[in-house]
Structures are given as structure tokens and as C-alpha cells.
């Protein structure tokens, strides 16, 4: 259900329970693209650890107004406002794929509210040519390096080779909701995705979180955000625990969501 439409009209917020019923929550930062809706497998994994889910769409997605030139830190402002307005604490902030950087920025901006940070198949800060190594189709991100005009002119496409067999199996099973949501998010226009890509290849504009428990989960066979991104994040976040999922790709790593939430204390 969508919540806070009156209090935060420019932020699209969905939750698995009414605002007044939220207590211990997982704050979910979705991948790119998305609608911001709570995905059923995310709700189930959170519920198994005694938490509800709050999911916040980034600017340009799910009906949220676009914010041209936004940084990663800018893209996380709405999530921080939600935490403050709802008075939430002991939050597990979780980010998947393109949502990972924004989860990190949220944890850094609201350390007093965040108990733990979970990054799943997360993009790492841009670090030069090697940042693209292992991506089946890095063309959209490479166009973003050339600036907003080049990225907006780049055709949106998806190479099926970006997913391994386990990814397709996950999308045919419990994580079919992810594929449906990504498709719905893309149908509303590519502006959110364009702005995500531009933000990833620029300075993120946020500090690194230091007070939260941090877990980084990544599939070794990820062809969208290769495993080297997890290694980069490990170097930047030396207190983080990195969990390597052998043979998993960009989607199938999500099948371990419940175990990671449980490991972070639910």
C-alpha cells in the first residue's frame, strides 16, 4: 500500500502495513528500474525475521518527480525523510543492485536510526575503466560517463546474456515479482534509470556509514554488476562482512535475502 501521500507528496512510499502499524522495518531500496511497490518475496523475507517493509521509489520512478542532476546522496533524501517522519529506529536498510548505493547513503545520513546495512549485488563507486569489467552490456553506463545528453540519447535495451541460468530460474519462480516490477517501472519512462546511471558514474556525495553492521552479498557469476564491485565495497567498508554466493547471478542472489536479514538480527 502507498503511504504518506499527504505528508510527503513528492516521495512515493509503499509499505507492507499502515504507517501507524510500522515498528521494526526493513527499508528497501529497489533496483533499477522499479515502481517502489513492496515485492512479495521481500515482504515474506522481512516477515520471517519479524519486520515490515517500507519501500521508497527514487526520483523519476513510480510517479515520483524527476530530479535532474541528482547525486546518489540526493536520491536517498526521500528515504531519510521517511525514517524521520515515521520516527523509525532499529532499521535494517537493504539495497539491491542500483538501490545499493542509495541504501549506503541512507545509512550514512541517518546513523542513529539504522541498525544494519545490507547490500545485495550492489553497484560500487565508479573507479575507472576496470569498473566495467565483467559487465555483459555496460553501454548505458559508458554513455553516462559522457554526460546527460549522451545517456538520454542512448537506446534502452537488455541483453539476455546478462542473466545466468539461475537468474532466469529465480525470475520464473518466487522472484517473478521483480521482473514484473522492473518492466512496469520501465514502462513509465526511462528518466529514473537515466538519472541512476548518471549518479553512479559521478561522485556519490555521501560519507561512508561507520556505525551500522554491514553485510555485502554478491553472486560470483553476476554479469550485470560483477563480483569485483563487492571487492571494491569491501575495501571501502573494512568492517563489512562479505558473503560470496558461488554460481549466483544478479537476480538469484536475492534468494538468500531471508538468511541475510536473519544474520543481521532480523
Share of the chain above pLDDT 70, in %: 99
| pLDDT above 70: residue 256 | yes
Residue 107's nearest CA partner among 122, 123, 121, 118 is 118
Task: Please name the residues in contact with 109: beta carbons below 8 A apart, sequence gap of 6 or more.
Answer: 73, 76, 77, 80, 206
What pLDDT is recorded for position 126?
Answer: 96
User: Which helix H or strand E contains 15, and what residues bound it?
Assistant: strand 13-15
What does 18-58 look like in DSSP terms, one character per residue?
Answer: -GGG--SEEEEE--SS---PPPHHHHHHHHHTT-EEEEEPP
Q: Are 252 and 171 in contact (CB under 8 A)?
A: no
266 pLDDT more than 70: no
Check if the beta carbon of residue 253 is closer than 8 Å to that of residue 175. no
pLDDT band at 212 (very low <50, low <70, confident <90, very high): confident
Q: Looking up cell 526493513, which residue turns up? A: 26
* Residue 188 predicted with pLDDT over 90: no
pTM (predicted TM-score): 0.96
Give the lowest-confidence range in 57-71, 157-171, 185-199: 185-199
- Distance (Å, rounded) from C-alpha 142 to C-alpha 19? 40
The pLDDT value given to residue 224? 98
Residue pLDDT, tens place only, 192-210? 999 999 999 999 999 998 8
pLDDT band at 145 (very low <50, low <70, confident <90, very high): very high
Task: Look at residue 137 in the predicted model and tell me its pLDDT.
Answer: 97
The answer to whether 54 and 92 have CB atoms below 8 angstroms apart is no
User: pLDDT: is 55 or 212 the higher one?
Assistant: 55
Mean pLDDT for the stretch of residues 3-30: 96
Domains, the chain, in order of start with CATH, read 2-263 (3.40.50.1820)
pLDDT number for residue 197: 98
Query: What was the pLDDT predicted at 134?
Result: 97
Is 189's pLDDT higher than 80?
no
Tens of pLDDT, residues 87-137:
999 999 999 999 999 999 999 999 999 999 999 999 999 987 799 999 999
pLDDT tens for 27-68 read 999 999 999 999 999 999 999 999 999 999 999 999 999 999
Residue 46's pLDDT is 98
Amino acid at each position: 500500500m502507498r503511504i504518506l501521500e499527504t505528508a510527503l507528496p513528492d516521495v512515493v512510499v509503499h509499505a507492507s502495513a499502515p504507517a501507524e502499524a510500522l515498528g521494526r522495518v526493513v527499508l528497501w531500496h529497489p533496483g533499477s528500474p522499479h515502481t517502489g511497490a513492496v515485492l512479495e518475496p521481500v515482504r515474506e523475507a522481512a516477515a520471517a525475521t519479524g519486520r515490515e517493509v517500507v519501500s521508497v521509489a527514487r526520483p523519476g520512478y513510480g510517479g515520483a518527480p524527476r530530479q535532474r542532476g541528482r547525486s546518489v546522496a540526493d536520491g536517498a533524501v526521500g528515504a531519510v525523510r521517511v525514517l524521520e517522519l515515521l520516527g523509525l529506529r532499529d532499521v535494517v536498510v537493504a539495497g539491491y543492485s542500483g538501490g545499493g548505493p542509495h541504501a549506503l547513503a541512507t545509512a550514512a545520513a541517518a546513523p542513529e536510526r539504522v541498525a544494519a546495512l545490507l547490500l545485495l549485488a550492489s553497484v560500487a563507486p565508479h573507479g575507472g575503466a576496470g569498473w566495467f569489467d565483467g559487465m555483459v552490456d555496460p553501454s548505458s553506463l559508458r554513455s553516462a560517463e559522457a554526460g546527460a545528453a549522451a545517456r538520454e540519447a542512448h537506446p534502452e535495451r537488455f541483453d539476455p546474456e546478462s542473466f545466468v541460468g539461475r537468474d532466469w530460474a529465480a525470475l520464473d519462480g518466487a522472484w517473478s515479482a521483480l521482473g514484473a516490477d522492473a518492466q512496469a517501472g520501465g514502462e513509465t519512462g526511462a528518466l529514473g534509470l537515466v538519472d541512476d546511471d548518471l549518479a553512479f558514474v559521478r561522485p556519490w556525495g555521501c560519507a561512508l556509514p561507520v556505525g551500522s553492521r554491514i553485510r555485502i552479498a554478491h553472486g560470483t557469476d553476476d554479469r550485470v554488476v560483477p563480483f569485483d564491485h563487492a571487492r571494491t565495497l569491501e575495501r571501502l567498508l573494512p568492517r563489512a562482512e562479505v558473503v560470496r554466493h558461488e554460481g549466483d547471478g544478479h537476480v538469484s542472489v536475492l534468494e538468500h535475502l531471508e538468511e541475510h536479514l536473519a544474520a543481521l538480527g532480523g
